[in-house]
Amino acid sequence: MTTLNAKKVNFEIERNIAILNIQTLNELKIKHSANIKVKSDSGEIMCEVLSTDTLIEPGFIGLKEKSIEDLKITENTKISVFIRRRPQSLEYVKNKRGGSVWKEGEIRSIVNDICSGQYTELEISMFTLAQYYLGLNMDEIANLTTFMAEYGTTLDFEEPVYDKHSIGGIPGNKVSLIIVPTVAAAGLLIPKTSSRAITSPSGTADTMEVLCDVNFSADEILEIAPKVRGMLVWGGTLDLSPLDEIVIHQIEQPLGIDPHSQMLASIFSKKVSTGVNHMVLDIPTGEGTKMPTKDDAINYAHEATELGRRLGISIEAALSYGEQPLGKAVGPALEAREALEVINGNGPTSVFEKSAELSGILFEMAGLAQPGQGAHLAADFILKGKTKAKMEEIIGVQGGNATVNPEDIVIGDKVATVVAPKDGYIVKLSNSNVKKIAKAAGAPRHKEAGVYLHKKIGDFCKKDDKLLTIYSNSEGRLTEALNISMNLQPFILEGMIIKRISSGTKI
């Protein structure tokens, strides 16, 4: 152990680094690239060592701002530096190789060691790739989920909590903004945490943020939600599942992987953390979704309900049609506007029906409707203005304009429209291409940006009918989005030639 003076360096990088003078390294008998444990009175982090002979004096340790915050120190605080030993729990990770099943206590050690910063990035990759290459059984997934939740913030409501979750994958899915007020209007508690967009043009939190604040602390949620019965907040600031954040940012995103067991544990750990007891699980299915075949979706549904059973969460899974975007609006502001239209009784039928169906399942789970009758009841809530009244209340307590009208919502003033090249029925409308156009237009970062779809699959259009309109707040992004649209052709019209191949053309 050595004591050194903290010094802030102006570096930004995801991993923790400690910059030490070469002389300090010699004293510690370690080399650059080694990992050290850095400890203050109130925190401990692991750092990879960079050595220097000029930038940091002997006796000092250079740390990035985030590390100084994590250690809860200021510049020149004396902190201790230790040579790091490989955590014991890494042996459990390694044993996966011989086919070992991770025991409860082993998983707990692994989760705690990763979350408390005992693992290097490579060691975290060893843990994540064990799951990727070898998979986990259901016991292991349940334990992983439990300990992931245990390490983070937990919200303890003293009554049953309802939730709706979608595995995502299709653009335009704004139903949470309708389901939450509908379910809350019936008196059920639905304090929904949601995510921001990762690869989509708008996450539920991004869409809701158009209408009001979505950043609330655990204490605020525990105070507000039981009174209003529903909230729609961003889960990101709550630290519900610290391991999830680490694994996603340090390993899964850089490698472009999403191991199945980790994905389930990721979703469910946040449900456990927020005390969810009853959940409807939306599984968009079909070409262009995360579940291309019905079998995939059914397998997933069985797994999720089984995992829920082990964790004490009753789950009803609903396979939904996912081969085109949901509704007509894609992008935060456009989606928020469409959600309000549905709540006002004049939005697209598909969004209305899906919202009523999923809300209805929760009504049935709660015993508020007979089996098969929930959707009618939920539709009634929407049509009779109960959903609208509750949504206004939620927007109000979340600091927004409670009486906002759909047309008040600002959308991009740079506009371009794509029209049909010929008469015909729409036979395809690609999720991924619509996503790309909306993102090129600026979504989700620029909330006003997005795509409005004038036609959906099965619609007939005449030559020069509007197919889609792109909204942006930048001419450059609008042009880019339009170019992408021209290249990708998100709409396929019956009889349209998709690609011409003549002799000599490379297929």
Which residues here bind a copy of itself, judged by CB under 8 A? 9-15, 17, 19, 22, 32-33, 48-55, 86, 90, 94, 96-97, 120-123, 125-126, 129-130, 132-134, 251, 254-257
* Angstrom distance (rounded) from CA 259 to CA 243: 14
Minimum distance of a copy of itself from residue 119's CB (angstroms): 11
Which contiguous run of DSSP H or E holds residue 24? Answer: helix 22-28
Minimum distance of a copy of itself from residue 145's CB (angstroms): 22
Our CB check for a copy of itself shows the closer of 125 and 469 to be 125
Minimum distance of a copy of itself from residue 482's CB (angstroms): 20
- Cα of 469 vs its chain's centroid, Å: 27
Cβ neighbours of residue 385 closer than 8 Å, sequence gap 6 or more: none
**What SS3 string covers 129-165?**
HHHHHHCCCHHHHHHHHHHHHHHCCCCCCCCCCEEEE
* Angstrom distance (rounded) from CA 181 to CA 177: 7
Decide if 468 contacts 418 (C-beta within 8 A).
Answer: yes
Our CB check for a copy of itself shows the closer of 30 and 149 to be 30
Decide if 221 contacts 256 (C-beta within 8 A).
Answer: no
Our CB check for a copy of itself shows the closer of 96 and 328 to be 96
* Angstrom distance (rounded) from CA 338 to CA 212: 16
Minimum distance of a copy of itself from residue 245's CB (angstroms): 14
258 is catalytic: yes
Minimum distance of a copy of itself from residue 303's CB (angstroms): 18
Residue type, 232: L
Our CB check for a copy of itself shows the closer of 72 and 94 to be 94
In three-state secondary structure terms, 81 is strand
Cβ neighbours of residue 305 closer than 8 Å, sequence gap 6 or more: 281, 315, 316, 317
Residue type, 327: G
Q: One of 53, 70, 219, 258 is an active-site residue; which one?
A: 258
Our CB check for a copy of itself shows the closer of 14 and 156 to be 14
> In a 10 Å sphere around its CB, with 0-12 CB exposed, 13-18 middle and 19+ buried, how is residue 199 labelled?
exposed
Our CB check for a copy of itself shows the closer of 118 and 274 to be 118
Our CB check for a copy of itself shows the closer of 261 and 398 to be 261
- The structure tokens listed for 386 are 């109960």
* Angstrom distance (rounded) from CA 507 to CA 501: 7
Decide if 124 contacts 131 (C-beta within 8 A).
Answer: no
Our CB check for a copy of itself shows the closer of 257 and 496 to be 257
Nearest Cα to 281, choosing from 273, 271, 289?
Answer: 271
Minimum distance of a copy of itself from residue 169's CB (angstroms): 20
Cβ neighbours of residue 238 closer than 8 Å, sequence gap 6 or more: 152, 153, 155, 193, 217, 218, 221, 273
- Length of the chain equals 507
Residues known to be catalytic: 258
